Amino acid sequence: MILNLALACLALLSIVLLIWQWLAARKFPLHKRITVHGTLPAVTLLKPLKGVEPATADCLRSWLRQDYPGTIQVLFAVASHADPVCELVTTLMKEHPGIDAELVVVEHLIGPNAKVSKLAELEQRAKHDVFVVSDADVRVPADFLQQVVSALGDSKVGLVNCFYRLANPSTLPMQWESIAINADFWSQVLQSRMLKPLDFALGAVMVTHRRHVQEIGGFKSLADCLADDYQLGHRIAKAGGKIALSEVVVECWDAPMSWRAVWKHQLRWARTIRVCQPIPYFFSILSNPLLWALIWVLAVPQRWSWITLIAAVILRAWISHDLQRRLNRSNHHAAFVGMTPLKDLLQVALWFFAFAGNTVEWRGRKFRLRADGTLEEVT
């Protein structure tokens, strides 16, 4: 009876947490636009690059075609002249001769995080004091800079970031991953924000001021960190800056990925979150309704445990569909909802392996992840 009661409570608690997560997401004015008045400051876009994927050209063009009334400087950074993205960037700069753009080759790495090494060099070359940092695979709408930079006008705001969606889940494993990104991740962030103000940043796009970066020691201070985006937001928040969430959603366009590649990506992400927020990540297992309802059925197969399991599967699938529909503003990914049970069960394995090891693979290199979130390359 004690086991039955304990598992019933855990199953019901997980369903309550799921509904709370959904309600937190429903309250956020996703995709809302604000009317921008007055002048906007000059900005410098910092774009660390490596390699060329099928969508790289379109993603970079979206930044060069911004409807922004202020001055824009674009700094691209690569680690080698031999990188094929150099030719693409040169072509794009010729297509947009009116843009103040420059390609910078950063051959010297100041730490294991190659992206941060590039950012540290670009920081020195930036002409303007508003920095916009974004990944190479991010595509943005034409009014993006207007929306996010205007939010930085609040003197209390130290950094502005936004949610992102996986725009092209072209393989079966990517469709599984799209549930984690397009349904779970952003709603979990909003659920967390209901408990306390955000003290981290989402890395797809980050907008901040030069003085905030300098207050934490510049980008070079993040050279040994795996989660440089998390640490940038966390350190700015610790210094007193508010982390703001824009309502604009950007798109991430990834190259086709296999199960092995997606698993490595998710495991790296899980171990990163575990190191950055160990206690919240440990208790995150409680919000998996399928897991606890299934354990209840296996341990005590009775009428109410089966009803709870069926209800958990249906509710979880419906909420996953609704959250993806809201983020994507379409029903295009509705077919992936059937993979939700598989995603939740594999999430249990990811949760376990996040605590079972401290190594990650990143861009073909293997690192040991220290307790403070810094990296040590494994040779």
pLDDT tens, 133-180? 999 999 999 999 999 999 998 889 999 999 999 999 989 999 999 999
Q: What is the pLDDT of residue 286?
A: 95
Residues ≥6 apart with Cβ < 8 Å to 211: 129
Residue 18 parent element (H or E): helix 2-27
Look up residue 71 and give its two tokens.
């001055």
379 residues of the chain, pLDDT tens digit each:
899 999 999 999 999 999 999 999 999 999 999 888 888 999 999 999 999 999 999 999 999 999 999 999 999 999 999 999 999 999 999 999 999 999 999 988 898 999 999 999 999 999 999 999 999 999 999 999 999 999 998 889 999 999 999 999 989 999 999 999 999 999 999 999 999 999 999 999 999 999 999 999 999 999 999 899 999 999 999 999 999 999 999 999 999 999 999 999 999 999 999 999 999 999 999 999 999 999 999 999 999 999 999 999 999 999 999 999 999 998 776 667 788 998 999 999 999 999 999 998 877 788 999 888 888 888 7
* φ, ψ at 45 (rounded to 5°): -90, 125
Look up residue 120 and give its two tokens.
């540290």
Task: Locate CATH 3.90.550.10 in the chain.
Answer: 43-258
Q: What is the pLDDT of residue 335?
A: 61
Helical spans, DSSP H, in 84-227:
85-95, 114-125, 144-151, 172-179, 186-195, 210-215
The CATH number of the domain covering residues in 43-258: 3.90.550.10
Q: What pTM value is reported for the model?
A: 0.93
Q: What is the pLDDT of residue 149?
A: 96
Task: State the chain's mean pLDDT as an integer.
Answer: 94
SS3 content of the chain, % helix, strand, coil (to 5): 55, 15, 30
Report yes or no: 309 and 293 within 8 Å, Cβ to Cβ: yes
Report yes or no: 266 and 185 within 8 Å, Cβ to Cβ: no
